[in-house]
């Protein structure tokens, strides 16, 4: 878990947030053991930006990873959790919404942990 937290904190420093000033980093742990990092970026045309979680997910998908064990999200404080769109995007690649969601602040040892199912109890799922 320490490597995941460290990766989220490190990539948060690269976030581009000139409008909100709210930097977020995310690190996604694939079933392979690889960590994929992403940070948020904003744009003057607000819809053209992206959340850190989906940037990390995109990097993982581009590398061929499709299943994940955990994601760490690092924002301004412990209250950070993935937004609804990010929760739904992550649900596409998890089994029974059991993905561990670890939330942390830029500094300190305290974390909050949830399952994706707790954060997205009635998400859309792929029906086979």
Quick check: is 53 catalytic? Answer: yes
- Asked if 30 contacts 60 with a C-beta cutoff of 8 angstroms, the reply is yes
CA 6 to CA 1: how far, in whole Å? 9
Catalytic residue among 53, 65, 110, 113: 53
Starting at the earlier edge strand, list the strands of the sheet with 100-104.
35-39, 25-30, 68-74, 100-104, 111-115
13 three-state secondary structure: coil
Tokens of 121: 């109890």
Q: Give the catalytic positions in this structure.
A: 53
């Amino acid at each position: 878990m320490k490597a995941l937290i460290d990766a989220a904190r490190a990539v948060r420093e690269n976030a581009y947030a000139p409008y909100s000033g709210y930097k977020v980093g995310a690190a996604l742990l694939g079933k392979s053991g690889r960590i994929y990092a992403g940070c948020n970026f904003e744009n003057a045309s607000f819809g053209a930006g992206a959340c850190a979680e989906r940037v990390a997910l995109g990097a993982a998908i581009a590398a061929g990873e499709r299943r994940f064990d955990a994601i760490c999200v690092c924002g301004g404080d412990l209250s950070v959790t993935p937004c609804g769109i990010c929760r739904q995007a992550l649900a596409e690649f998890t089994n029974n919404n059991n993905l561990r969601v670890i939330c942390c602040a830029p500094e300190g040892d305290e974390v909050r942990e949830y399952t994706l199912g707790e954060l997205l109890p009635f998400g859309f799922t792929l029906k086979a």
